[in-house]
Amino acid sequence: MYPNIKDNKRKVYSAMVTAMDDVVGAVVDELQKQNMWNNTVTIFSTDNGGQTLNGGNNWPLRGRKASLWEGGVRGVGLVHGAGIVDKGRTSRELMHVSDWFPTLLHVANTTTSGTKPLDSHNVWDAISSKNGHSPRTELLHNIDPEFTRPFGPTPPMTPYPNKHGVDTLKGHTALRWLNWKLYTGDPGYSSIDPPPTLYRNQTVDTSCLVSDGYHPDCKEPLKAPEPLPSVRLFDITADPSENVDVAKYFPLIVDEMLGKIAAYNKTAVPIAWPGGDKNCDPALQDNVWGPWK
């Protein structure tokens, strides 16, 4: 498929998306055939940004899957069906994937009564109505004290002394608060990769994009990297591509958000990576990937 796309990875990716689109269409056709479509809410949503090493693309956003930049964490989605008052529009209200749970319970006319305390929100008003707003004002993208770049060394960084005791050199963290997004540590792969039109017209060499020039196959001359700031602040509403670090201009915002990160750290549980279990092999479960205990 798609012989007009010269880049093979982008060509394969496009064909995979088409195959998925065909299957989604088949499900919609069957719902309509069974007279269930008008009483169905359909949600189509991503779980992370595109992986540019395998044909994905996040242009004009920075980063990719496995990074904390907007290209790695900003998701797109589509909601269709009963209860949508204002149709055919785009909502940019703040939402986290965990918000689907209380939102869908609301759509199903039930509540979260009896569940454990949740840090998620019902955002149906923002989805269904152009005048609705999300109650979410804060979103913790990640705290990973063990993060290191998978394809190369972590770049050198300058420490950021702070009264909250946050180690800004260790791993990485990203926190969104209102229009602000704060990073500590190394957010990961930071390039803004070529737009899809370039993939369509030529083969794109991504060997030097794997880890900002650290990839062993990169033929470009390597330069000793300059130390990067270990705390960065961006106004995501005004600067979604994260081009201008404004941390030095808004020290009070930085301090406020570091305090929020410190509060999260106080309640964090120790990291635990359980060992593998050979019984999870799908060959032992009729070749089905699924729960095995």
Question: Residue ranges of the domains in the chain?
Answer: 8-94+137-271
Q: In terms of DSSP bridges, do strands 157-158 and 228-229 run parallel, antiparallel, or are they unpaired?
A: parallel
| pLDDT score of 212 | 47
| Residues listed for the chain | 293
Assess if CATH 3.30.1120.10 describes domain 8-94+137-271: yes
How confident is the model over 173-189, as a mean pLDDT? 96
Better-predicted residue by pLDDT, 23 or 209: 23
| pLDDT score of 199 | 81
pTM of the full structure = 0.88
User: Each residue of 204-235: pLDDT tens digit?
Assistant: 776 665 544 445 555 555 566 789 999 999 99
Rounded to an integer, what distance in angstroms lies between the CA atom of residue 26 and that of residue 40? 15
| pLDDT score of 96 | 94
| pLDDT score of 171 | 94
Q: Where does the pLDDT of residue 12 fall: very low under 50, low under 70, confident under 90, or very high at 90 and above? A: very high
Assign 3-class secondary structure to the chain: CCCCCCCHHHHHHHHHHHHHHHHHHHHHHHHHHCCCHHHCEEEEECCCCCCHHHCCCCCCCCCCCCCCCHHHHCCCEEEEECCCCCCCCCCCCCCCHHHHHHHHHHHCCCCCCCCCCCCCCCCHHHHHCCCCCCCCCEEEEEEECCCCCCCCCCCCEECCCCCCCCCCCCCEEEEEECCEEEEEECCCCCCCCCCHHHHHHCCCCCHHHCCCCCCCCCCCCCCCCCCEECEEEEECCCCCCCCCCCHHHCHHHHHHHHHHHHHHHHHCCCCCCCCCCHHHCHHHCCCCCCCCC
150, 65 in Cβ contact below 8 A?
A: no
Please state whether 216 falls in left (phi above 0), alpha (psi between -120 and 50) or beta.
alpha
How confident is the model over 167-190, as a mean pLDDT? 96
| pLDDT score of 224 | 62
Kindly tell me the burial class for residue 239, based on how many C-beta atoms sit within 10 Å of its own C-beta (0-12, 13-18, 19 or more).
Answer: middle
| pLDDT score of 117 | 87
Rounded to an integer, what distance in angstroms lies between the CA atom of residue 54 and that of residue 17? 13
Q: Where does the pLDDT of residue 202 fall: very low under 50, low under 70, confident under 90, or very high at 90 and above? A: confident
Mean of per-residue pLDDT scores for the chain: 90
Q: In terms of DSSP bridges, do strands 180-185 and 172-177 run parallel, antiparallel, or are they unpaired?
A: antiparallel
Please check the confidence at residue 257 and state whether its pLDDT lies above 50: yes
| pLDDT score of 211 | 47
Rounded to an integer, what distance in angstroms lies between the CA atom of residue 30 and that of residue 239? 42
| pLDDT score of 217 | 53
The separation between CA 124 and the C-alpha centre of its own chain, rounded to angstroms, equals 21
User: Each residue of 29-79: pLDDT tens digit?
Assistant: 999 999 999 999 999 998 899 998 889 999 999 999 999 999 999 988 999
Rounded to an integer, what distance in angstroms lies between the CA atom of residue 211 and that of residue 254? 27
| pLDDT score of 255 | 98
